[in-house]
Amino acid sequence: MNLASLLSKDRIILSLKPGKKEKVIEDLVYAIKKGTDAELIVSTLLKREELGSTGIGKGIAIPHCRSLAVDKLEIAVGRTTKPMKFNAIDKKPVSLIFLIIAPPQDPGNQYLITLGKIVQIAKVMAKKKLISKPNTPDEFITLINQVEKDLKKRN
């Protein structure tokens, strides 16, 4: 399963308003679910953040959790208009956020595989300074596709 196929245009927000970490996570969750489902997901994601920031460095954060509120892997992407505080491990502000929610049981552990893949791809995007390049969600998906292909060739 490639990452690009798990992305959908309406869940890629390239002009996300920076703000408090909680608020930004909430905004991204709302691209996926509404109502009490969204509330549950936000609570679980914030509990995950309390264990240690998912800001992995180089301007990237990957908030993630499993939740009863979803029945398949769901991903939302946000790029903030300005870097924002995320308590990242390198203490640097964050501008690219991949948010991933997985169902409690997923055969083949697609969740951790996808999570690992996103970490790899996001790091390449940061290293090659590609984060600010895409202007539309379509261009973003194309870029992800490209980075993913390059990684596959390298491995």
Name the residues annotated as catalytic. Answer: 64
Q: Closest separation between CB of residue 10 and other proteins, Å?
A: 14
Which of 21/33 has CB closer to other proteins? 33
Q: Closest separation between CB of residue 81 and other proteins, Å?
A: 27
- Cα four-point dihedral sign 81, 74, 42, 116: negative
Which of 50/82 has CB closer to other proteins? 50
CA–CA dist 110, 14 (Å, integer): 26
Q: Closest separation between CB of residue 26 and other proteins, Å?
A: 16
CA–CA dist 52, 125 (Å, integer): 23
In contact, 140 and 12? CB cutoff 8 Å: yes
Three-state DSSP class for 95? strand
Residue numbers at the binding site for other proteins (CB under 8 A):
33, 35-37, 39-40, 43-44, 47-48, 50-52, 54, 56, 65-69, 71, 103-105, 109, 112, 115-116, 119
